[in-house]
Amino acid sequence: MSPLVLLLKLLFKLMTSAFCRVISFFCVRRNFVENFKKKSFTVLKYIAFGVVIGVLVGAIDTLFGRVLIAITDFRTDYYLFLLPFLPLAGLLITWMYNKFSAISLKGMSLVFETGQSKRNSIPLPLVPLVMIGTWITHLFGGSAGREGVAVQIGATLSHRIGRKFHFSNNERVLLITGMSAGFGGLFQTPLGAVFFALEVIVAGYLEYEALLPAFIASIVACITSHTLGLEKFSVNVTDTLDFTDYKVIIFLVIMGIAFGLVGRLFSYLLQKSKDFMKNKIKNPYVRIAVVSIPLAIILIFFHNGRYSGLGTNLISASFSGGEVHYYDFIVKLLLTIVTLAIGFQGGEVTPLFSIGATLGVVLGNLFGVSPIVCGAIGYVAVFGSATNTLIAPILLGVEIFGVANVLPIAIVCIIAYIVNGNLSIYSSQQKALFGFEE
């Protein structure tokens, strides 16, 4: 074969190879550009969705929260006239739910079941029902919280709006976004709210896809509720613990065990009490009316309504040097369980805050350690134990009490989380094994 033919063949191979490389480069680049555009569009959708949900839920949180504060102040002044009507209030709440949406009585279970693909949607009537039902509960002195309302509102609206606009194939992303907005807007603790929503549906598993919209929604909800006049509870705790003293380390372990056991006790008794009440008194009207009578008597005559409502009075006493009884935590625990078990509406988190804070003060005084620091640690550790969450309570501690005691808060929350042993106030919470859903 002549040299000229060989040269031509070589040139042809080189040109063919170069052409293929050019085509391959542009194909890869085209795929890269298309993927980049697709991901960028998804990110923008998440941001827009988070902003919309944050504004909407933050505004509703403000309405709910400010009315609840006014109701609490009114009941505090006139508890002797209002608490005797607690049984009638219970009948009204039960009638409302059975009249307009009986399925909404499942409350947080509806949120969990939707996130776990066990149901397709959350009924929209749940939003006004849970708000009005909680207002009535607090007006007439029931011992209950408020976070469950905000979380249910956020989850319901976020899921409904996201489904309507075909936003995500992942139901859990929609729910987590709304839950973080509801919690964050009410308590104005955006980081704690995000990780509470991420951790609580499936314990031990984090839905990272929801992180961006949840964070955006939580931040926007906080800004919205604060702008509209809802105030954040915070205490700047500057006292610290001396870690050079081995007794402090031992005390932290004792606190972790104590707070973990109390959170576990609350979770266990709440679920058992709900089942017991439903089995023993099957008629919901009879159940709430009959049991409310002794409940109202106890709330009236035991320290003049001290254990009615959210428990914010106990929290204030814990951090302002007020009177805290050694039995405050257990009485608040039991009365909150009875209130919720017979059908009154509200949440568990704020009572858990008050239970942990008062127990922390008692332990601090008992062992000669700063009661304010111990109250702050108990405030978040009992909440973490009872909800079976770990990161959320640590972040809440930082957002509410500052960074001075982040290490003891983390240590105690970890111990409390382990001691709890996977129990939760939310009976529908799933557990994950080694990062995978069971």
Given a cut of 70, whether residue 276 has pLDDT beyond it is yes
pLDDT at 32: 54
Greater confidence (245 vs 365) lies with 365
Residues 6 or more apart in contact with residue 191 via CB below 8 angstroms? 218, 395, 398, 399
Q: What's the rounded Cα separation, in Å, for the pair 131 and 115?
A: 22
The separation between the first and the last C-alpha atoms of the chain, rounded to the nearest angstrom, is 71
List 437's β-bridge partners, or say none. 432
Residue 220: pLDDT band with limits 50, 70, 90 = very high
Containing 429, the helix (H) or strand (E) segment is: none
**Residue 281 Cα distances to 146, 277, 287, 289, 292, angstroms:** 26, 6, 5, 11, 13
Look at the alpha carbons of 363, 369, 371, 374 in this order and tell me if their dihedral is positive or negative: negative
Given a cut of 50, whether residue 434 has pLDDT beyond it is no
Read off the pLDDT of each residue in 410-434 and give the average, rounded to a whole number: 87
Read off the pLDDT of each residue in 407-430 and give the average, rounded to a whole number: 92
Contact 239, 375 (CB under 8 A): no
Q: What's the rounded Cα separation, in Å, for the pair 349 and 104?
A: 20
Give the CA-trace dihedral at 228, 136, 337, 309, to 10 degrees. 60
Structure tokens at 377: 């640690």
CA 186 to chain centroid, in Å, comes to 10
Q: What's the rounded Cα separation, in Å, for the pair 95 and 121?
A: 23
Amino acid identity of residue 119, one-letter, is R
List 430's β-bridge partners, or say none. 202
pLDDT at 292: 96
Read off the pLDDT of each residue in 60-84 and give the average, rounded to a whole number: 94
pLDDT at 436: 44
Given a cut of 60, whether residue 25 has pLDDT beyond it is no
Greater confidence (168 vs 336) lies with 336
3-state helix, strand, coil in the chain (%, to 5): 75, 0, 25
Residues 6 or more apart in contact with residue 253 via CB below 8 angstroms? 415
> What average pLDDT is seen over the chain?
88
Per-residue pLDDT tens over the stretch 193-206: 999 999 998 888 88
Residues 6 or more apart in contact with residue 353 via CB below 8 angstroms? 311, 315, 379, 380, 382, 383
Residue 107: pLDDT band with limits 50, 70, 90 = confident
Read off the pLDDT of each residue in 234-240 and give the average, rounded to a whole number: 89
Q: How many CB atoms lie within 10 A of CB 367?
A: 15
Residue 20: pLDDT band with limits 50, 70, 90 = low
Geometric angle at alpha carbon 185, from 182 and 189, rounded to 5° = 105
pLDDT at 56: 96
Containing 436, the helix (H) or strand (E) segment is: strand 436-437
Look at the alpha carbons of 320, 323, 329, 335 in this order and tell me if their dihedral is positive or negative: negative
Given a cut of 90, whether residue 38 has pLDDT beyond it is no
Given a cut of 50, whether residue 438 has pLDDT beyond it is no
Given a cut of 50, whether residue 403 has pLDDT beyond it is yes
Which one, of 68, 405, 428, lies nearest residue 242 by Cα? 405
CA 203 to chain centroid, in Å, comes to 13
State what percent of residues in the chain have pLDDT above 70.
88
